């Protein structure tokens, strides 16, 4: 409760969902925002092949100049009022890389990409026309095709469910990375809390009333509860903020999309119902994004692996905290604890690409890496026996490690003035009394 009442906890709980939502919605929002500044570009076309062939936009305008050389325009560029000027030489078709865009400032990526794409398409058209194929323009329009492969998950009973590969990968990555971040962040807080109580000699008073094991588990479970409260708040707030942001973006982009669909339908003589178009663009994107996923299994697995994974690592962090007098002495002792977490993140990245591969399988069984790697595999579908085996190994390891950490904790919590090693801490584990 003391940690939950802190201003830092409240601020982080409120600000982090905004950051998550910005990372989810930001790219789409930025993609819909175009520069509204009018950009005038002069074009000197020595090849005489591109005039009237390079498309303009609402904010990029082209002016073809026929009676002026590039050298003269370079000297008078400041007074010309142009944003830039493009020089297309005579060998443009055979050597497209010889085109040069001149400007007194660094041209924006939008301008460069627009000119490159427009010229590239025109050169392709010119080369195709050289083969003297009849109705080449109509043929090119008719063969343009965009393929979007749908994915369907089949249950054991043959039931079909719409799925989303990109959404599955996103869920796997978010859960695994959140697990890594939470275990490392709050596990460190357990260690710092133990060091603080030991340094202030508060532990000497507390230990007279409770057993060392009770004190250690109280601290670990208390911080675990804080972490679960914060994660729950993040999920609810991120979902709410993300939905609002998506709705705002869709309201802005819906008219343009509807007009585009209607134009395409008119070209192909397909009747379009305006209400149907609007409904299709206003469907629940979040449900489509996680389509075909067993949300109950995912959330249940996340809670299970977080609890036991956090308790496993928190016990180790508490043991380290009891063996040192200050934070600076923990670097050497913490490294063996953090290495499995870092390794798990590396395996998780490859595991998302190949969730059934041998590397992902074995690391999802090893208790020190399974809380991260198994969460990356679950959205793709994991056999029940693998889930049970991985969970059982994690629980057994948690019990053993917690027992060992308690032995270290009860000895180290009252020792001062020396920096201990893992070798000495292993001796504490073997003490009978």
Q: Which long-range contacts (CB under 8 A, 24 or more apart) does 246-250 make?
A: 246/25, 246/28, 246/285, 246/286, 249/25, 249/28, 249/29, 249/32, 250/281, 250/282, 250/285
| Three-point CA angle 381, 382, 385, nearest 5° | 150
Distance CA 400, CA 402 (A): 6
Phi, psi of 304 (to 5 degrees): -60, -55
Same structural domain, 50 and 191? no
Question: Coil, strand or helix: which one is 207?
Answer: coil
DSSP element (H, E) containing 433: none
Domain assignment of residue 69, yes or no: yes
What does the pLDDT read at residue 275? Answer: 47
Please give the distance of CA 5 from its chain centroid, rounded to a whole number: 30
Distance CA 196, CA 322 (A): 10
Domain assignment of residue 196, yes or no: yes
What does the pLDDT read at residue 282? Answer: 37
Same structural domain, 85 and 181? no
Exposed / middle / buried, residue 172 (Cβ in 10 Å: 0-12, 13-18, 19+)? buried
Domains held by the chain: number: 2
Domain assignment of residue 81, yes or no: yes
Distance CA 32, CA 30 (A): 5
Output the CA–CA distances (angstroms, integers) from residue 127 to 93, 121, 122, 130, 258, in the order listed: 8, 10, 9, 5, 35
Same structural domain, 349 and 210? yes
DSSP codes joined into one string, 284-319: -HHHHHTTT--HHHHHHHHHHHHHHHHHHHHHHHHH
Same structural domain, 108 and 59? yes
Output the CA–CA distances (angstroms, integers) from residue 216 to 208, 311, 395, 426, 428, in the order listed: 14, 11, 18, 18, 16
Cβ-contact 97, 127 below 8 angstroms: no
**Do the bridges between strand 60-64 and strand 84-88 make them parallel or antiparallel, or are there none, so unpaired?**
unpaired
Beta bridge partners of 358: none
DSSP codes joined into one string, 328-385: GGGHHHHHHHHHHHHHHHHHHHHHHH-TTSHHHHHHHHSTTTHHHHHHHHGGG---HH
Same structural domain, 75 and 199? no
Between 165-199 and 212-267, two packed helices, what is the crossing angle to 10 degrees?
Answer: 160
Domain assignment of residue 277, yes or no: no
Domain assignment of residue 50, yes or no: yes
Q: Which residues have CB under 8 Å from 151's CB, separation 6+?
A: 162, 163, 164, 165, 292
What does the pLDDT read at residue 255? Answer: 53
Same structural domain, 189 and 96? no
Distance CA 61, CA 159 (A): 54
Same structural domain, 197 and 86? no
In 3-state terms the chain splits into helix, strand, coil percentages (rounded to 5) of 65, 5, 25
What does the pLDDT read at residue 169? Answer: 73
* Full domain range(s) for residue 387: 172-226+285-429
Smallest Cα–Cα separation from 128: which of 120, 119, 136? Answer: 136
Mean pLDDT (10-residue bins), the chain, 433 residues: 81 78 64 66 82 80 82 82 83 74 80 84 79 75 70 60 64 80 83 80 78 82 84 80 69 53 50 45 46 72 86 86 75 83 86 83 90 85 88 91 82 72 77 66
Same structural domain, 319 and 189? yes
Same structural domain, 293 and 360? yes
Same structural domain, 297 and 196? yes
Same structural domain, 55 and 186? no
DSSP element (H, E) containing 90: none
Phi, psi of 69 (to 5 degrees): -90, 155
Residue 410: CA atoms inside 13 Å, Cβ hemisphere, count? 19
**Do the bridges between strand 100-102 and strand 151-154 make them parallel or antiparallel, or are there none, so unpaired?**
unpaired
| Three-point CA angle 109, 111, 117, nearest 5° | 95
Same structural domain, 104 and 206? no
- Among 133, 164, 194, where does a domain finish? 133
- Among 75, 105, 133, where does a domain finish? 133
Phi, psi of 92 (to 5 degrees): -60, -40
- Among 109, 133, 157, where does a domain finish? 133
Q: Taking the C-alpha atoms of 105, 106, 111 and 114 in order, what is their torsion angle to the nearest 10 degrees?
A: 140
Q: What CATH number is given to the structural domain containing 99? A: 3.40.190.10
**Do the bridges between strand 60-64 and strand 100-102 make them parallel or antiparallel, or are there none, so unpaired?**
unpaired
């Amino acid at each position: 409760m003391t940690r939950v009442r802190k201003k830092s906890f409240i601020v982080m709980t409120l600000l982090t969902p905004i950051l998550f939502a910005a990372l989810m919605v930001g790219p789409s929002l930025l993609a819909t925002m175009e520069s509204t500044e009018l950009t005038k570009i002069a074009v000197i076309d020595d090849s005489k092949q591109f005039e009237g062939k390079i498309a303009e936009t609402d904010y990029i305008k082209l002016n073809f100049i026929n009676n002026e050389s590039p050298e003269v325009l370079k000297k008078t560029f400041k007074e010309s009022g142009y944003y830039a000027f493009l020089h297309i030489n005579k060998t443009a078709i055979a050597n497209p890389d010889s085109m040069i865009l001149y400007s007194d400032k660094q041209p924006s990526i939008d301008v460069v990409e627009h000119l490159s794409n427009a010229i590239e398409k025109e050169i392709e058209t010119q080369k195709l026309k050289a083969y003297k194929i009849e109705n080449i323009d109509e043929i090119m329009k008719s063969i343009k095709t965009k393929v979007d492969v749908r994915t369907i998950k089949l249950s054991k009973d043959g039931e079909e469910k719409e799925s989303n590969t990109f959404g599955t990968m996103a869920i796997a990555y978010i859960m695994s990375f959140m697990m890594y971040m939470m275990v490392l962040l709050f596990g460190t807080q357990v260690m710092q809390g133990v060091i603080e109580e030991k340094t202030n000699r508060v532990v000497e008073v507390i230990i007279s009333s409770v057993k060392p094991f009770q004190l250690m588990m109280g601290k670990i479970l208390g911080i675990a509860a804080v972490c679960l409260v914060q994660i729950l708040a993040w999920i609810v707030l991120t979902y709410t903020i993300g939905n609002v942001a998506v709705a705002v973006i869709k309201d802005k982009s819906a008219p343009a999309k509807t007009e585009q669909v209607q134009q395409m339908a008119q070209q192909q003589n397909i009747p379009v119902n305006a209400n149907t178009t609007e409904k299709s663009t206003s469907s629940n994107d979040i449900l489509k994004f996680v389509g075909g996923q067993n949300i109950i299994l995912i959330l249940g697995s996340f809670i299970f692996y977080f609890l036991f994974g956090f308790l496993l690592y928190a016990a180790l962090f508490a043991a380290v905290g009891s063996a040192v007098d200050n934070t600076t002495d923990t670097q050497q002792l913490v490294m063996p604890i953090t290495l499995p977490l870092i390794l798990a993140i590396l395996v998780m990245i490859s595991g998302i690409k190949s969730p059934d591969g041998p590397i992902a399988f074995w690391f999802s069984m090893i208790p020190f890496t399974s809380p991260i790697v198994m969460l990356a595999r679950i959205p793709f579908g994991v056999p029940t026996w693998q889930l049970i085996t991985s969970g059982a190994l994690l629980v057994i390891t948690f019990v053993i490690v917690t027992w060992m950490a308690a032995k270290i904790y009860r000895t180290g919590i009252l020792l001062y003035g020396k920096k201990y090693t893992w070798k000495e801490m292993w001796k504490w584990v073997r003490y009978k009394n």
